[in-house]
Structure 1
Amino acid sequence: MDYASSILNLLPTGRRSIGVNQLLNKLETYLPPAQVDRIRDAYEFGAEAHEGQKRLSGEPYIAHPVAVAHILADLHMDAPTIVAAILHDVIEDTPTAKDEIAERFGADVAELVDGVSKLDHIQFRSRAEAQAESFRKMLLAMVRDIRVIMVKLADRTHNMRTLGSVPPAKRRTVARETLEIYAPIANRLGIHTVKSELEELGFKALYPGRHRIIEKALKKARGNQKQFVGKIADNVRTALEKAQVKGRVEGREKHLYSIYQKMRRKRAPLTSIVDMFGFRIVVDSIDTCYRALGIVHGLYRPMPGRFKDYIAIPRINGYQSLHTTLFGPNGMPIEVQIRTEDMHRIAESGIAAHWQYKTGEDSSDAGRAYRDRASEWLQHLMEMPHSGNSAEEFMESVKLDLFPDKVYVFTPRGEIRRLPRNATAVDFAYSVHTDIGNHCVAAKVDRRLVPLRTPLRNGQTVEIITAKGATPNPAWVNFVVTAKARAAIRHYLKGLKHGEAVELGKRMLSQALQDVSLVLKKIPEERLQAAAAELNLKTPDELFEKIGLGERLAALVARRLLPADGTHQPEPATQAEPLAIAGTEGMVVSYARCCFPIPNDPIMAYLSSGRGVVIHREACGNLRNYRKQPDKWLTVTWQPNVDRLFNVEVRIDVANRMGVLAAIASNIATTETNIEHVAVDERDGDASTLIFDLQVRDRKHLAHVIKNLRKMPEVLRVTRVIA
């Protein structure tokens, strides 16, 4: 009797589950008996905890944790991970507490189980928020111990295998989440076997019709090309033997989801995707990889630009192989991967290889590359939560960061930086260090100055130029693609907006206090603190921020600050001075795009909750809608000598002739005016209407521009646009 069978005999008959015998036999091949015994104990504990519970399919619930443990055993994960897999639902679905698991199976197992558990006992505003918070909790637990995500990936894999029992609407939701989050995470961690299965199962559940059509076409192609694939494999084997290169050649069929993705990426019909099969050559050493590459290039002509050396420059997840595409018989493309045995094993199991080596399967440290790159990625995740983003923003940032990497660029010292496709110079700057990103002002690509939003391409050398007083530009958020850059910029802008809102709130409250004959500086700190507490705020600064953001009315707060004993009587003749707008208030003061106010225009201000103060021209047509809320209006005026540029729209009617747009743009440039945008609004046979979005200093500057334009013979009329 083997060890696993002897263990099973110790279990109560009612708690033996189909699959446990196979699991223990599998574990016995690479774990010592004491650890297998610990896993048996976990099974007995889990079976008792889930007693009476059933899955939607009708099978006992304990069958699911055992299946999850099977998946992890195939990856040769360590004993604590297998124990956590068997217990991963007991905190969430049974009365069992985390402390009980820690006491019986150790703190590491308890932390793993807790990391996988969802936040079901907290009330959230929406399902999306609950999902995002649970996801953030899982990823932060993963930062502490990456085995959390291994259990979650195995859990998701088995759930996808049994998705047929789930209602159709939920099935599609789970499938979409799998394709958007869990399969990319498996890819990022290099676990190819799990990633491929999640993609195939997710694709089948989300798009069953498309999956069926491609599967049918692939079966047909398999029949037509079976002889063709075998012939190429034999030719490659013969060429390797002739050159005395030892290696095995495998013909492999491409996954349905990868074919579907290729169809979408190239916007091509299924009939045009001819390379549904590929080949893999596995040899004994790195030197032999390059020899084999030369042999296949001699056998079939390589396609220009389709060779990738992932051995010299591994992918961001540590994957290594040589990739080449060849012109096969009849011009059919042949994709070939060449790698060593170690590379092949690690390419299949990724970060899991680290635990394979820890359990003694291999004395080499080939899993270190995956572990180091995973740790680097997790470090980025660790930085994101401190940016103050909501759970939904955090989740979106991680999704963006999971896109496959496509760009390898170099620092001036020759260090390789791996970035996502479409990454910009700003993404590169933040990948080096957050401080470099925050202070960057320009970039050089291959020694030439380029705009910071320039997308980077493979092989470029990127140099970032910084300045001590420079700060992130809010516009960067619109084009950066890495989660680290996006989180760092948002964190800075939120801090900036807070400071601006506090300062503006003080000015607005000070103005409101003038109406009741009080001065903000003379109000005791205790009274300000009490007023903040009455509004469920912690500090006076938080109160000022709410006022500056338009979420609290300064006039009402001013009344709260009146002495409670009624001794203070405001002077009836007191009239507050208008709030002076300097143009430097930042994001808490914005200028309406409907009327484009500029200095010296008569203006009014509307308090918009969350946005702060929005400045309108007094002649703006939209004021009629806002006047229904007089308590949200604020009297404002321009400070003298405002030093910044403001946007304004100008409508120009012109006679149609060749080059008229260029002539007008040139005329505007002579007045030292920047053109932000231009559009053709109307056009008939003889005339056109052009709308220019210009940047000017004030009304005097605008008048100079308009005067110059009216002197042009092709200009029929110039007017300023007002809503």
Structure 2
Amino acid sequence: MRQYELVDRVRRYNPQADEILLNRAYVYAMKAHGSQKRASGDPYFSHPLEVAAILTDMKLDDATIVAAVLHDTIEDTDSTREEIDRLFGQDIGRLVDGLTKLKKLDLVSKKAAHAENFRKLLLAIAQDVRVLLVKLADRLHNMRTLHFVPPEKRERIAEETLDIYAPLAGRMGMQGMRDELEDLAFRHLMPEAYATIEARLDEFRRKNGKAIATIEKEFVDELAAHGIKAKVAGREKQPYSVWRKMERKSIAFEQLSDIFGFRVVVETVEDCYRVIGAVHTKWAVVPGRFKDYISTPKPNDYQSIHTTVVGPGRQRVELQVRTEAMQDIARNGIAAHALYKDGRIADRETLTGESRAYQWLRRTIEMLAEGDTPEEFLEHTKLELFHDQVFCFSPKGRLIALPRGANAIDFAYAVHTDVGNTAVGAKINGRHAPLVSELQNGDEVEITRAEGQVPPAAWESLVVTGKARSAIRRATREAVRAQYAGLGRQIVARAFERAGKPYSEERLKPVLARLARANVEDVLAAVGRGEMFSGDVVKAVYPDFKEERKAAAAARPHGEAGWFGMKKAAGLVFKIPGEGGDQQNDQSIPIRGLQGDLPVRFAPNGGAVPGDRIVGILTPGEGITIYPIQSPALTDFDEQPERWLDVRWDVEEGTHEFFPARIVVTVINEPGALGTISTVIGDNDANIDNIVFRPLSADFREMTIDVEVNDLKHLNAIISNLRARSVVSKVERVNA
């Protein structure tokens, strides 16, 4: 697209467009990208121009078009945010920066880096919806040219589009963009399924083309007879929508009743209801297929009336009835609020203030951003985006939209976090019901509360909304912290009493900086967890105080995993005391799902390695122990579900970190047996930490060996190689 063509596209819908600004952005981006090429071999500059062209079809304002032209300059060229601000203004600079990935991320995995970049993008969207519009247009053009990308990268991008960006477009009401994103991703992820469904749709068009035209004409004539001016047009399901419905309902293509439907567009809301009256009078209604999204719009602002009738020729016909304005929002969603109106572009307030979809998105993002890890943020965002909606009511008539499958706990948290945290029971449609009861459209839900109630940690696995999960996790974390703070409060009070010094929590506030804590509760919790010595607290308040204390110099006993508890970067750091307790060895342990700064260790007598499904067991006042899920020791905690924590590995494939495991090898009692075993383990690049011998008989010896391996695959390879040696009778892994 040439420079003048871009300006012409904008001026067609906005004669007052800033031509100088558009030209300056065009020239700047062209020079910045220089000789850069895309995977297709085209000049890279063609990509931001195509993104801008997509946005001109939505008739967006000058700043959004300029941001589209510049959106890759900070990320892919030598341009800086300061330079963009200086040349184009801070408004455009903020938009471009919101679209720029974080270049330096000290995170434990690529998945965490991806999640952190997505968090940055969504937080920028929460500040200005135009960031979202540019990002979706950017992703759409990348999907249109995805066939030029290498296969492995192509699959990742297509999956990400199907998981994140297509649902996001749908939640913003941009159905046209969602359909194209889904079909492009579907085409690359499942080419055979796509081709099959496309062929079946072609066959359907050939067989039913005349019948569709006949039905369309009969509807137009019937509405005209009632004095209703309407446009009636056919609407065909997209291949991905067809495939998804077939998968969800486990039905064949021939069983789908809504492959083809009709859209009726009228002038006024009153006409919408007149159409329904005329149609339902003429043709029989299919029960359970009437939905009024005009009186109760969807959260993405979609409005329409849906009905299905047994129409002309005794065929089931699906109808969508809406006005032109509703049609515009159904097609362009949130972008429709930025359309050129009355000779000018809608101002910023119009752009953000009219959309319920954007208000929902901003509230969701603000809620999800409170204290979760990047991966949790990404997981919860997917939960919020993916599900169909059910609409429920509070006793006072407040409408609450929830994902399908939500229960009364989700409802309570949707009303308010405090309502969820203190919920103890529910009434659904006036009847007492369990809090885990799944809600249906139209349910009236009343939550019973009890002050002082703390939500059980198990609730996190029962809810489906990101808001509920985040709030439950936070409440659990705060409850554990409060428990440690209570223990620390007792320890500190006794320490001051032993020192003969007066104590009050007010005395701690002036020395918080010296103790490197933000508030008194943090100090007390640190003492309760064993991270801070109580004598240090006394000395911070009374600098002249001196106390003799012995250093705990304990070498790690054989067969036990040492405690570790300091956070570093995105992993956890544990410290193993060396001889005499003087030297320490820091190692990064990438385990996700551990909140707070609790001491953590592997299970004694067996450990755990990446590839094992693992759980954490919380011991108040001591910390968390990591067990593999198959560990028989876990049966001791069956009656204590509140102590179980869901933790997961976050280790990239090919890591060279070592993790503890234990194997028992039964060998023939002959010279060289130990050498054979050691050689096999060494040849497999593993490390022996400890060996204990036990005679079984005159002919056999049992070796219990603590080994350090990279992951479960590495451990299994060692066991397999040991079993292949003639000196070995049996090899088994020991689970703690």
TM more than 0.5: yes
Partner residue, 2:186: 203
Write the distance in 2 (CA, Å) between the matches of 1:434 and 1:219: 50
Select the residue among 237, 242, 255 that pairs with 1:259.
Answer: 242
8 Å contact from structure 2 (residues 175, 330) kept in 1: yes
Mapping for residues 266-665 of structure 1, pairs under 5 Å: 266-328=249-311, 332-357=315-340, 360=343, 371-386=355-370, 388-504=371-487, 568=548, 612=623, 622=633
Helix, strand or coil at the partner of 1:350: helix
Select the residue among 217, 222, 243 that pairs with 1:239.
Answer: 222
Write the distance in 2 (CA, Å) between the matches of 1:173 and 1:52: 27
Letter in 1 for 2:360: E
Helix, strand or coil at the partner of 1:29: helix
Helix, strand or coil at the partner of 1:351: helix
8 Å contact from structure 2 (residues 61, 345) kept in 1: no
Write the distance in 2 (CA, Å) between the matches of 1:477 and 1:646: 16
Cα–Cα, structure 1 residues 192 and 20, in superposed 2: closer, same or farther, change >3 Å? farther
Helix, strand or coil at the partner of 2:320: strand
Partner residue, 2:729: none
8 Å contact from structure 1 (residues 401, 482) kept in 2: yes
Write the distance in 1 (CA, Å) between the matches of 2:633 and 2:410: 40
Cα–Cα, structure 1 residues 150 and 523, in superposed 2: closer, same or farther, change >3 Å? same
Write the distance in 2 (CA, Å) between the matches of 1:93 and 1:615: 42
Partner residue, 1:8: none
Cα–Cα, structure 1 residues 507 and 209, in superposed 2: closer, same or farther, change >3 Å? farther
Partner residue, 2:103: 120
Task: Name the count of aligned residue pairs.
Answer: 575
Helix, strand or coil at the partner of 2:78: coil
Letter in 1 for 2:151: P
Letter in 2 for 1:478: S
Cα–Cα, structure 1 residues 449 and 236, in superposed 2: closer, same or farther, change >3 Å? same
Give the drift of 1:451: 1.4
8 Å contact from structure 1 (residues 510, 520) kept in 2: no
Helix, strand or coil at the partner of 1:231: helix
- Structure 2 stretches lacking a partner, 5+ long: 553-595, 605-615, 643-735
The answer as to 2:128 corresponding to 1:145 is: yes
8 Å contact from structure 1 (residues 66, 86) kept in 2: yes
* 1:371-410: CA deviation from partner (whole Å, max 9, x where unpaired): 1342133123112212x11011011111111124421112
Helix, strand or coil at the partner of 1:463: strand
8 Å contact from structure 1 (residues 497, 588) kept in 2: no
Write the distance in 1 (CA, Å) between the matches of 2:30 and 2:551: 78
Cα–Cα, structure 1 residues 612 and 519, in superposed 2: closer, same or farther, change >3 Å? farther
Write the distance in 2 (CA, Å) between the matches of 1:144 and 1:615: 40
Give the drift of 1:523: 12
Select the residue among 152, 158, 161 that pairs with 1:169.
Answer: 152
Helix, strand or coil at the partner of 2:143: helix
* 1:103-125: CA deviation from partner (whole Å, max 9, x where unpaired): 11111100000001111223322
Partner residue, 2:49: 66
* 1:60-93: CA deviation from partner (whole Å, max 9, x where unpaired): 1110000000111111111111100000000101
The answer as to 2:15 corresponding to 1:32 is: yes
Cα–Cα, structure 1 residues 431 and 608, in superposed 2: closer, same or farther, change >3 Å? closer
Helix, strand or coil at the partner of 2:13: coil
Aligned-pair RMSD on alpha carbons? 4.4
Cα–Cα, structure 1 residues 615 and 355, in superposed 2: closer, same or farther, change >3 Å? closer
8 Å contact from structure 2 (residues 10, 17) kept in 1: no
Give the drift of 1:355: 1.1
Helix, strand or coil at the partner of 2:389: strand
Letter in 2 for 1:612: G
Give the drift of 1:432: 2.0
8 Å contact from structure 1 (residues 318, 369) kept in 2: no
Letter in 1 for 2:235: R
Cα–Cα, structure 1 residues 288 and 520, in superposed 2: closer, same or farther, change >3 Å? farther
User: 607-616 or 172-181, which moves further after superposition?
Assistant: 607-616
8 Å contact from structure 1 (residues 548, 588) kept in 2: no
User: 457-466 or 149-158, which moves further after superposition?
Assistant: 457-466
Cα–Cα, structure 1 residues 132 and 611, in superposed 2: closer, same or farther, change >3 Å? farther
Cα–Cα, structure 1 residues 520 and 101, in superposed 2: closer, same or farther, change >3 Å? farther
Write the distance in 2 (CA, Å) between the matches of 1:298 and 1:405: 31
Write the distance in 2 (CA, Å) between the matches of 1:588 and 1:179: 37
Write the distance in 2 (CA, Å) between the matches of 1:569 and 1:385: 43
TM, length-normalised to structure 1: 0.70
Mapping for residues 658-697 of structure 1, pairs under 5 Å: none
The answer as to 2:40 corresponding to 1:57 is: yes
Write the distance in 2 (CA, Å) between the matches of 1:181 and 1:266: 23
Helix, strand or coil at the partner of 2:279: helix
Cα–Cα, structure 1 residues 148 and 47, in superposed 2: closer, same or farther, change >3 Å? same
Partner residue, 2:64: 81
8 Å contact from structure 2 (residues 493, 503) kept in 1: no
8 Å contact from structure 2 (residues 174, 330) kept in 1: yes
8 Å contact from structure 1 (residues 439, 468) kept in 2: yes
Letter in 2 for 1:335: E
Cα–Cα, structure 1 residues 71 and 621, in superposed 2: closer, same or farther, change >3 Å? closer
Write the distance in 2 (CA, Å) between the matches of 1:372 and 1:470: 33
Cα–Cα, structure 1 residues 610 and 345, in superposed 2: closer, same or farther, change >3 Å? farther
Write the distance in 1 (CA, Å) between the matches of 2:144 and 2:387: 25
8 Å contact from structure 2 (residues 14, 344) kept in 1: no
8 Å contact from structure 1 (residues 289, 322) kept in 2: yes
Write the distance in 1 (CA, Å) between the matches of 2:632 and 2:415: 49
Cα–Cα, structure 1 residues 233 and 169, in superposed 2: closer, same or farther, change >3 Å? same
Write the distance in 2 (CA, Å) between the matches of 1:111 and 1:534: 38
Helix, strand or coil at the partner of 1:338: strand
Cα–Cα, structure 1 residues 253 and 554, in superposed 2: closer, same or farther, change >3 Å? same
Cα–Cα, structure 1 residues 457 and 335, in superposed 2: closer, same or farther, change >3 Å? same
Cα–Cα, structure 1 residues 547 and 103, in superposed 2: closer, same or farther, change >3 Å? same
* 1:231-251: CA deviation from partner (whole Å, max 9, x where unpaired): 111111111112121001001
Give the drift of 1:133: 0.5
Helix, strand or coil at the partner of 2:298: coil
Write the distance in 2 (CA, Å) between the matches of 1:370 and 1:196: 24
Select the residue among 206, 226, 238 that pairs with 1:223.
Answer: 206
Give the drift of 1:508: 8.9
8 Å contact from structure 1 (residues 274, 332) kept in 2: no
* 1:542-573: CA deviation from partner (whole Å, max 9, x where unpaired): 687578668x6999x99x99x9999947699x
Write the distance in 2 (CA, Å) between the matches of 1:178 and 1:192: 14
Write the distance in 2 (CA, Å) between the matches of 1:119 and 1:615: 33
Give me the identity figure in percent. Answer: 40
* 1:582-640: CA deviation from partner (whole Å, max 9, x where unpaired): xxxx99899x999xxxxxxxxxx998799816799xxx9859x9xxxxxxxxxxxxxxx
Cα–Cα, structure 1 residues 205 and 504, in superposed 2: closer, same or farther, change >3 Å? farther
8 Å contact from structure 1 (residues 282, 344) kept in 2: yes
Write the distance in 1 (CA, Å) between the matches of 2:112 and 2:240: 29
TM, length-normalised to structure 2: 0.69
